[in-house]
Amino acid sequence: MDNNILGLIRTRYHTLSPVQKRVADWILLNPNKVMLLSLSALANTCSTSETTIMRFLRKLDYDSYQVFRVMIAQEVASDPVATVYEEVKENDSIKEVKKKVINLTVSSIKDLDKILDEKQLNDFKEMLLHAKRIVFVGAGASSNIAADAYHKFLRIGLNVILCIDPHIMLIQSTHLDKNDVLVAISHSGESRETLDAAKEAKRKGARIAALTSYKLSSLSKIANVTLLSSSHEVAYRSDAMMSRIIQLIIIDIAYVLTVLALGPEAIDCVNKSRLAVAKNKV
């Protein structure tokens, strides 16, 4: 069993019921106390039943509360920083806000190692390598992620297109076929503009790659490949702020894998791209 229970709780948080989320919140805020509590004591502390606690554990692939408790203790002992899960509060000082945001970012990046499926990542790389055209789409904040991906893959000579205008997304999607790939980026997986473009591209036979934080989202359900980004829910900043950082890292990983697969051809394209840009610099 992978000793990263707190990360596992965070990455599966959105699959939990409201009562199970209450249990998860308490554990994430008090990991040092979990090891001291019996099953009944934890249930009482979270104002729920032992049955609910066991259902919560099964969502994490644990059948034994004792094993779960021991693993929590080992994680806290080995990496105290990973246990930080405090929300930013209204009266927090600048120092406290800085520390909490940094710690949450660090833990989110560590969670990515668990949530990012290697097979899906490899399938995504293969889709990019064999696509006639690759269209990156994203609305709102996700448009920045789409633009970053477009810039990276353009540098290595792939036939990429960036669409962040809802009308252009749909127009471009109508011209795709089975040889094309549409990469749809949406934190929630429910962005209407992005979903409409993905559905139209799917209807035309194109393959769909989704970059989202929600496994059960509408976008994930229609995608051929889904790359999941971890997230934390906090009161004083958008959940999408954290997913933005994680999605940029996922794009970087896919970019490196693609460069390695293309070999010298990709390196030559990168060098040509650098030279072209360098001519415009003083």
* Both structure tokens of 186: 């949406």
Mean pLDDT of the chain: 88
Q: Indicate if 66 and 182 belong to the same structural domain.
A: no
- Per-residue pLDDT at 97: 86
Alpha helices in the chain (DSSP H): 5-11, 18-29, 31-34, 39-45, 50-59, 65-78, 94-115, 118-130, 142-155, 166-174, 192-203, 218-222, 239-262, 264-278
Nearest to 153 by CA among 2, 8, 258: 258
Is there a contact between 177 and 205 (Cβ–Cβ < 8 Å)? yes
DSSP classification of residue 235: S
Question: Is 140 found in the same domain as 264?
Answer: yes
Mean pLDDT within 40-65: 94
Q: Are residues 87 and 124 in the same domain?
A: no
pLDDT tens for each residue of 62-97: 999 999 998 888 887 776 555 445 566 778 899 988
User: Measuring CA to CA, how many Å separate 85 from each of 22, 28, 53?
Assistant: 14, 6, 20
In the listed set 67, 98, 115, which residue is the last one of a domain according to the structure? 115
CATH for 105: 1.10.10.10
Residue 130 maps to which CATH number?
3.40.50.10490
pLDDT tens, 113-154?
878 899 999 999 999 999 999 999 999 989 999 999 999 999
Segment among 29-38, 74-83, 88-97, 253-262 with least mean pLDDT: 74-83
pLDDT (mean) for 3-20: 82
What domain count does the chain have?
2
Note the pTM of the prediction, 2 decimals. Answer: 0.75
What is the chain's alpha carbon radius of gyration, rounded to the nearest angstrom? 21
